[in-house]
Chain A
């Protein structure tokens, strides 16, 4: 019940009249509004596919939520399906999209825990027409196979989810030893035990002044020994890229990730290699014509070149001389031949994780100083996979993950003996 205090009074009253439910479904519509009533049939179909009938509460974001029962069309609600409009804190312009999503997750976990639901499904990036199949895919392993966390797998477009492909997935896989393709979701199915654990962790973080931080759900579940699986969902919907705010996005996502790596060091130092987690659903690759997209290379390379010219002194505090030398070599290459080798990228990420732990420079400065390096990696990757087909891209990303796993002894060595000379 950690979050009950933050739930508005009118929502609490509505929750009391609703009574218990088996599942809470949170729909985070980032654009606000949305015709939730039209999805009711889809949700009924999704829940009808389960072996037992379940009572569900659908929490949907309605920024203009008015007091009293929601004004829904006749017949939308019944004993098995109730709607709860709730003004989710998803549209605050002062925080990043990742933090907005995290806040919305937090609010829905609070509701789920309050009404004692066995499962909680949160959809953040589901296109409206497929939301019902996603709900079924995320709820079924929790309700019928006793999993605690169902992570999503999406159709792997070569230029989508790049922060996940470049850092989050390979890092989680190498450090925590579980192949969870999207460790930070954002679409998840949660079991009740995990929801409670996440709320407790969140409350503990708030006490040390880290409120509103993004919780790396995948790593948290792995470290606490929860049963984790993943399911193929299909195409996801993306919000437009905010290029001017990319450094805030990187800082907002990687900060909590590095913090967890620091906290969980006793757990992951003994892990060697990685293992697959149970995966459900049909794995689909994107259609060929969808992958032939043009991009502006200079838009990625210019920030890297500018960063190399101006931030070298800051990078030198974090990276060993050998890495700087290799970056210098990459910097001198003609744009079409620009490459950041996997081994170098792996070491860069590990060195930044270590510098985060050692507070070599201010943590916010450190994470933001990574942005040009990240865009450099994106440029290198984009050049490499530009003409590749989907299967080739998957192999390419698998090579990167292997490089992260092979590089783990380097992380361990630097983690244990950070003062040792490292060329």
Chain B
């Protein structure tokens, strides 16, 4: 009886040791992949930091209208944030490559699916970036135009345009990532429709006096134009 137990224990210990031995090359490959990714990330971060400093990335981010980057992370400049993001992406890719070396069906499938998903993530990030730029450009255009037209609600108009574009961009990005599925469609339709309805109601009911006063003022100004003594050109 005791001998049989001893044999069973020996066999299971042997199996465990074999399994561990089988894992060893994978672990070594993971460590090597992480080391290579680490070195690559360090080199890329170094070059990126220098290039960004050279092109005055932090100042440009502010002038492009991305003031909020500082609000998200007051301790870090936009250049540092960008460099760190790239570093972590490279490390993550290295980790995924290392994991695939284990040659286990489940991990291989997981890694494969993750790799096929990465282009979608990049596309979504590009969408968000471009959408942000477009939103800021349009909101600035609307703000300056509305101020020059002497509209008292210039800032409101500008913010409205900005958020409309951002909401559309976010919906597009989520759609691209296949997150939320039909919920995103529904939520977007409800939100966008709600914004338009709210604006219509605001103009139609709540702000009708403001709008009519503003239009009246503009109309009276048009008739005054000829009487103005100022000639600019």
Contacts and interface: CB of A to CB of B under 8 A. Distances in A.
Given A97-B233, A163-B232, A317-B62, A240 B226 contact: yes
A303 B150 contact: yes
B91 interface: no
Interface in A230-250: 238, 240-244, 246-247, 249
B210 to A, nearest CB: 15
B154 interface: yes
A306 B150 CA distance: 7
Nearest to B158: A310
A309 B155 CA distance: 9
A295 interface: yes
Contacts of B225: 240-243
Contact of A365 (B141, B146, B154, B221): B141
A98 B232 CA distance: 11
A361 interface: yes
A177 interface: no
Given A309-B155, A360-B63, A368-B144, 8 more contacts: A161-B231, A163-B233, A246-B148, A246-B232, A294-B229, A362-B137, A368-B148, A378-B230
Q: Which of B150, B158, B221, B233 has the most CB of A within 10 A?
A: B233
A163 B230 CA distance: 10
B229 A303 contact: no
Contacts of B226: 240
Interface of B: 62-63, 67, 137, 140-141, 143-150, 152, 154-155, 158, 221, 224-226, 228-233
A241 B140 contact: no
A307 interface: yes
Interface in A142-167: 157, 159-164
Contact of A243 (B144, B152, B228): B228
Nearest to B148: A247
Given A243-B221, A310-B154, A369 B230 contact: no
A244 B149 contact: yes
Nearest to A368: B144
B144 A159 contact: no
Given A295-B228, A360-B63, A365-B141, A98 B147 contact: no
Nearest to A372: B147
A253 interface: yes
A78 to B, nearest CB: 36
A417 to B, nearest CB: 14
Contacts of A365: 140-141, 144
B143 A241 contact: no
B147 A306 contact: yes
Interface in A217-264: 238, 240-244, 246-247, 249, 253
B137 A303 contact: no
A72 interface: no
Nearest to A184: B233
Q: Majority SS of interface residues in chain A?
A: helix
Given A246-B148, A365-B144, A159 B229 contact: yes
Contacts of B231: 157, 159-162, 238, 241
A372 B148 contact: yes
A371 interface: yes
Contacts of A246: 148, 232
A98 B233 CA distance: 8
Given A306-B150, A361-B63, A295 B145 contact: no
Contacts of B67: 313
B230 A295 contact: yes
A162 B148 contact: no
A311 B143 contact: yes
Contacts of A361: 63, 140
A57 B143 CA distance: 49
A151 to B, nearest CB: 15
Given A243-B225, A368-B144, A372-B148, A162 B232 contact: yes
A319 B62 CA distance: 14
Contacts of B224: 296, 299
Given A161-B233, A317-B63, A241 B228 contact: yes
A157 to B, nearest CB: 8
A36 interface: no
A18 B100 CA distance: 86
13 contacts: A97-B233, A160-B231, A162-B232, A164-B233, A244-B149, A296-B228, A309-B155, A310-B146, A310-B158, A314-B143, A317-B62, A317-B63, A361-B63
6 closest A-B pairs by beta carbon, nearest first, are: A293-B229, A247-B148, A160-B231, A163-B232, A238-B231, A159-B229
Nearest to B154: A310
A302 interface: yes
A91 B203 CA distance: 36
Nearest to B149: A244
Interface string A358-385: 0011100100110110000010001000
Nearest to A236: B231
Contacts of A163: 232-233
B233 A311 contact: no
Contact of B152 (A98, A157, A300, A306): A306
A299 B158 CA distance: 23
Contact of B145 (A160, A368, A382): A368
B232 to A, nearest CB: 5
A295 B229 contact: yes
